[in-house]
Amino acid sequence: MAFWFMPLVAVISTAICLYLWFRDVRRIMTEQRSTMESAKAQLKIFREKVHKARNDPDAAAVLARSESIYQQAVENYNRTLHKPWVYPPATLMGFRTIRKGGEHS
């Protein structure tokens, strides 16, 4: 009678564990991607400002900081993606490595 109970408990607990693992990885990677996309949008805005005010050294300095922030966000995203406990579910959910230019590889 109790033969079916133990495998059922094992299957249910494994499914719940996988669900929680994937949910946590999705949350982490979504936050990382959001940070990176925000930095990318700010970088685009500052590039346009520098293009309009070509001889402004302050604008060039802000652009350099913005580029640095964006590169740090990309590196942080990629570092998080390649953590051993994050990589399998993240790749199954479609998260990919970002190369320097901002495109997925």
Residues 6+ apart with CB under 8 A from 104: 96, 97, 98
Specify the pTM.
0.83
16, part of any domain: yes
Domain with 84 in it: 5-92
32 in a structural domain = yes
Other CB atoms within 10 A of residue 73 CB: 22
Residue 18 lies in a domain: yes
Of the chain, the percentage scoring pLDDT greater than 70 comes to 93
Digit-coded pLDDT (tens) for 58-76 = 888 888 999 999 999 999 9
Q: What is the domain count for the chain?
A: 1
Fill in the DSSP letter of residue 104. Answer: B
Q: What is the pLDDT of residue 17?
A: 96
Question: In this predicted structure, what is the pLDDT of residue 101?
Answer: 64
Note the pLDDT tens digit of each residue in 22-37.
Answer: 999 999 999 999 999 9
Q: Is residue 102 part of a domain?
A: no
Mean pLDDT of the residues in the chain: 90
Alpha helices in 1-105 (DSSP H): 5-52, 57-81, 87-92
Task: Return the pLDDT at 68.
Answer: 94
100 located within any domain: no
The crossing angle, in degrees rounded to 10, of helices 5-52 and 57-81 is 170
SS3 category, 39: helix
Q: Is residue 59 part of a domain?
A: yes
Give domain status of residue 103, yes or no.
no
Predicted confidence band of residue 99 (pLDDT cuts 50, 70, 90): confident
Confirm whether 104 is domain-assigned.
no
